[in-house]
Structure formats: structure tokens, C-alpha cells
Amino acid sequence: MASETVIPTRVKICGLSNEATLAAALEAGADWIGLVHFPRSPRHVALDRAAALSARARGRAERVILLVDPDDALAAAAVAAVDPDLIQLHGGESPDRVAAIRALTGRPVMKALGIATRADLAAVSAYAAVADRILLDAKAPPDSILPGGNGLRFDWAILADAALPPGTMLSGGLDAGNVAEALARTRVGAVDVSSGVESAPGAKDPDKIAAFVAAARAAR
């Protein structure tokens, strides 16, 4: 009997902000490295800093610039500076706005959607029609200043029997200790982590990065 082909889980380490932790993510074998350009985030990096980190990752991992409700000028400036392989939109962008940013920049776009209840999945199909990838993240609390990276997880049972588009990525409260369970329960093929590999908000931990990537790979 032929053995079943196992497709490794793809992993994104988001919110990297210095050379040491970028190197840790690359050495661990992360598929994507995420750079956050959102001043209210403890993981924020200016575009010139993001450009320098992106250049170090070129050819070793796909580079993602995370933006929150960017106007045309910011979207264009981010692409010009960082040369990302993917733009992650993590705000309240409508499907039309996602399509417009994709057309303006000429880059693939990933749209993050906040999930708290099964009803929140109703938005997936509209965004999947215009985005190259969907990221399902825990919905931020009403009083949060951050749309993501809050260290929260949603009930993965919400995704049971859900028709998710190919390439859907899971985020929200993941760490090395629960990523295998998350993958088993949701059946997604890609995961995104930020606060789960930190020692403090915005401070990535190289050992936690390595442990997370290893746990995600071992789960498949």
C-alpha cells in the first residue's frame, strides 16, 4: 500500500522586530516572517526598519507586512520600502477595500478576520473571493487597542465542519503547548503566532520560536 503524503504545516512568526529574533525564526524554518507596521502595537516597526529586516529574510522565508486599515499612500509606501511577498490586512477593511489594495499594490493579500462565534464565519466567503489567503484570529475584546496579538484563542469547535478556503491560516492564543491540538481539531494547514512566542509583549523569545515551529511540524 502506498504511504499517504504528509504535507507539513506551514508556520508564520509574526511581530518580529530585531535581527536576533528574525534569525531565530529563519533558523527554525518559519515559512513566513511577519513585520507589523501599526504604531499602537508593541511589535510596531517603522518602514525603514521593516525594510532592513525584510532584506535579511529575502530568499529564506516569505515576508509579510501587516497593516491596519491603510490608506493608498501607506499601502504603496509599505510595498516600496519592504518589498513584501504578502500584505496582511488586520483592520476593518471591507472586501472591496481588500480588492482595491491588492490591485493598487500588485501583491497578494491575506485578510485577517476576527472570530468569536460561528456566525463570524459568514464573512469568510466574501473575503475569500478577493484575498489570496484568509487568517482566522481571535476577535479582539471591545476595549482592546490591538486588532490581534492579544494572546487570546477562540473556540476551535466553531470550525468543525466549516467549509474553509484552501490555505486558511489559524491564529489567536497559539503556543508550543497547544498548536498540535489546534491543528488536530481545526484541520487547517497553516498557523500564525505572535504573543505565544514572547517573554513580554513585543519581546520575542528565540527558544519559544524554535519550540513552536518544531511542535507545529511534529503535529503533521
Catalytic residue IDs:
14, 137
Residue pointed to by grid coordinates 482566522: 136
Q: How far apart are CA 141 and CA 170, in angstroms?
A: 18
DSSP 111: E
Q: How far apart are CA 220 and CA 183, in angstroms?
A: 8
* Beta bridge partner(s), residue 132: none
Q: Where do the H-state alpha helices sit in 107-205?
A: 124-128, 179-186
Name the phi and psi angles at 43, rounded to 5.
-105, 10
Q: How far apart are CA 163 and CA 187, in angstroms?
A: 11
Sign for the pseudo-dihedral over CA of 66, 180, 196, 55: negative
